[in-house]
Chain A
Amino acid sequence: MSSHREAPSISKDPVADNTDLYAFRTPSETVTIIANFLPSQAPNGGPNFYEFDDEVLYEIHVDNNGDALDDVTFQFRFKTVNTNPNTFLYNTGQIDTLDSQAWNRRQTYTLTRVIGDQTVQLGTNLPCPPVNIGPRSTPNYEAALASEAVKTLNTGGSTTTVFAGQRADPFFVDLGSIFDLGTLRPFQDLHLLATAAADGVDALAQSNVHTIAIQVPIASLTKSGQVPIDVMDPGATIGIYASASRQRNLQIKNGRRQSVGPWEQVSRLGNPLFNEVLVPLARKDEWNATKPVNDASFARYVLQPELAKLLPVLYPNNVFPNLAQLTADRADLAAILLTGIPTGVVPGFQNYTGQVQADLLRLNVAVPASTGSQSPFGLLGGDLDGYPNGRRLADDVTTIELRAVAGVTYQLVMPDYAPDGAATLIEDGTRDNPGRTLLGRFPYVGTPYSGYDVGS
């Protein structure tokens, strides 16, 4: 979760595995999009530390006219080099700068923007920071290394700020309990196989991911080329997804790998948990290979989610009496996940992109960023700039989606429906992990956990 090892094939190919996608408004009329890959990294995973794959095409796709097809695409291709052929080490001394001679294994990348048939290289030879090894190898990690890898590019007619490298996984979830027959520790006293209620355990509390983050002007993403100011403007919403692709054929011979052929999508992510929780196991690999424009074939899993049927079984004794009786198609979930929320459902808000059913993270860019404290429940908590209108790093999407599936949002489309009391309360209890930190500036995702410090 939200898409860590969520499908059989991609769980065997972690460097191409999308884990989470975030998109939110940022200062100076910009949008920041963050796509994370390479899940559940043990920070002390040397001597061959985690890195992007030169043979994977990483992409961020933006649709701005509701057809679920790319209008603006950002492509990232990485290149890895060993600078010292005579050492087994990642580094032979302190890495105190991005051009340190002691740093053996380095990655750079090329950022390309595609709009229609126009392809522009926004940046080449852009540096990734090293991984966060420990205080002797990578001292002053954030200021001297990670921050130096944030680059601002003034090419292609607009300004793009970009970062690619290791970060602390901002996602939080109790994987250990949820996949033990749907247990939510704070409510496990109500479970079919009851035990005493307990605090949630964040399975990702000390794991890293690899982040690709871009910050671009809103006007460079919208169909009008302007910054919309009216939330109800039908052109104010963009749809976003991230993907990873491999070439069709991989040859391995004498220890060398060579990829040939067209790019084949092997992983994608729009809304959190879509493939993880809604798509049946037998179709998860197919879903990863499918473009969002073809998501109508998966719509039935949204309209009749298996989890909504399981909750009253796993939590019996009338914990979910109304959900148990709810057999109608879930128009609320279809709006949240497949089309965007149309006008008239949430007062003063919409992020509807039309009738094309596609799993895209939809962001109405006319909604200003919240000032002051944010609700972890996003739109459910009254923040119009929170999930499912885009996704902020601190949004508790597991709880939001659990409660939505449990019936809380069905009332929005069927006012006569009364959500169960439990539906408004359930959560996995991992939101308040004190070790999780975020930055107040781009790329916003926190400093990666150091290999030396984790587990010591």
Chain B
Amino acid sequence: MDISRRGLLGGGAALAGVGAVTALTQGGASVLAAPLTAAELEALDIPVILSVTDAKRGTLEVLIGEQAVEFTDRSLVAKLARVARKEAV
């Protein structure tokens, strides 16, 4: 799995469609760990963009289609921050 910043931003590797995004905001780490279903994989045919909107508060925004879903996941933000810092160095 590509966990580079670009990979996360461009591919949305752990996310699959609006349904998965909604589940992520509600289910946290257990959802992240679950294998993707065929339907979820198919949903990745459209671009999914993840961005950190407030690092201090741990909030992120997922863009998919014409929608945006905001959620809070401090551990994911921390992981992204560390990956980004490592890449920047």
Contacts and interface: CB of A to CB of B under 8 A. Distances in A.
Contacts of B46: 260
Nearest to A259: B47
Q: Is the interface of A mostly helix, strand, loop or mixed?
A: strand
A248 interface: yes
Given A251-B10, A260-B46, A263-B66, 9 more contacts: A247-B63, A248-B63, A248-B68, A249-B49, A249-B51, A253-B10, A260-B64, A261-B68, A262-B67
8 contacts: A260-B64, A261-B49, A261-B63, A261-B67, A262-B66, A262-B67, A262-B68, A263-B66
Contacts of B47: 251, 258, 260
Give the 8 A-B CB pairs with smallest separation, nearest first.
A261-B63, A260-B63, A260-B47, A249-B49, A262-B68, A260-B49, A249-B63, A261-B68
Nearest to B51: A249
Interface in A424-453: none
Contacts of A247: 63, 66
B65 interface: yes
Interface of B: 10, 46-49, 51, 63-68
Contacts of A248: 63, 68
A108 B68 CA distance: 28
Contacts of A253: 10
Contacts of B64: 260-261
B66 A261 contact: yes
B49 to A, nearest CB: 5
Contacts of A262: 63, 66-68
Interface of A: 247-249, 251, 253, 258, 260-263
Contacts of A261: 49, 63-64, 66-68
A253 B7 CA distance: 13
A67 B65 CA distance: 30
A54 to B, nearest CB: 14
Contacts of B48: 260
A312 B63 CA distance: 51
Nearest to B46: A260
B58 to A, nearest CB: 20
Contacts of B63: 247-249, 260-262
Q: Which of A248, A251, A253, A260 is packed against the most chain B CB atoms within 10 Å?
A: A260
Q: Which of A249, A258, A261 is packed against the most chain B CB atoms within 10 Å?
A: A261
Nearest to A253: B10
Nearest to B65: A260
Nearest to B48: A260
Contacts of B68: 248, 261-262
Contacts of B65: 260
Nearest to A258: B47
A258 B51 CA distance: 16
A253 B49 CA distance: 14
Nearest to B67: A262
B35 to A, nearest CB: 25
Nearest to A261: B63
A164 B22 CA distance: 38
A75 to B, nearest CB: 12
Q: Which of B65, B66, B67 is packed against the most chain A CB atoms within 10 Å?
A: B66
Nearest to B66: A262
A355 B66 CA distance: 33
A261 B68 CA distance: 6
A73 to B, nearest CB: 15
Nearest to A57: B66
A76 to B, nearest CB: 16
A251 B67 CA distance: 16
Contacts of A258: 47
